[in-house]
Amino acid sequence: MTASHPPLRSFGRIKSRSIKPRQAALMDTLLPAIRPPDGAFDPRGLKDGATEAWLEIGFGGGEHMAAQAARRPDVLIIGAEPFQNGVASALRHLDEQQLDNVRIHDGDVRELIARMPDASLDRAFILFPDPWPKARHNKRRLIQDETVGELARLLRPGAALRFASDWADYVDWTLERVLKDGRFGWPAEQVADWRDPPADHITTRYEEKRLGDCAPVFLDFVRL
């Protein structure tokens, strides 16, 4: 009998510095109120009147997620982030802007998406995920065949998937695996289509640090 093993973690630290008192209070009060429910659920049912459901995987400090939610109050956005300091920061953004169309999963996104039904998402973002640049660590990258397959299952036909990275190898890795799945198209026609930030992109503090080995690249895929 083969022993079962938990999936490899695709993220690094869970927590770094101490969380500020105000944010810690939001972790105790706001976070429990906006977590997705346990068990199977349809994201469109998490907010009355929501016209679409979006997912952001690894939202960092939450700036992008909060800005998108403010722009589109008719959209329910689920954010997944295991890094507790990032969750605390996102909660501050939501509280300050009084945004009620965001739900937060403070853990591994793979556990979350396994509970969601087919074709239940209208858009997904994966922005500057941990690149795991050493070859021996590539297996820890979020973008794997299994993850792409789950995203293809969750995204309805015509839905958008945006991946961004400033690590050239991870861009190539992602392009290869997403297109290999066969259920996504990549309509880019010229260099500007992946080199220029998309019109609706919100630049975050992490992106501005330019920690990678190339200028940011934006891959906008479409679910076929």
Tell me the C-alpha distance between 41 and 117, whole Å. Answer: 7
| DSSP string computed for 56-117 | EE--TTSHHHHHHHHH-TTEEEEEE---HHHHHHHHHHHHHHT--SEEEE-S-HHHHHTTS-
The residues annotated with a catalytic role in the active site are 130
Q: At what angle do helices 84-97 and 21-34 cross, to 10 degrees?
A: 80
- Token pair, residue 83, equals 């890094």
For residue 155, the surrounding DSSP H or E stretch is strand 155-165
Residue 153 burial by CB count (10 A; 0-12/13-18/19+): exposed, middle or buried? middle
Question: Which residues, other chains included, contact 194 with Cβ-Cβ below 8 Å and sequence gap of 6+?
Answer: 188, 217, 218, 219, 220
SS3 content of the chain, % helix, strand, coil (to 5): 40, 20, 45
Question: Among candidates 127, 82, 130, 76, which has minimal Cα distance to 105?
Answer: 82
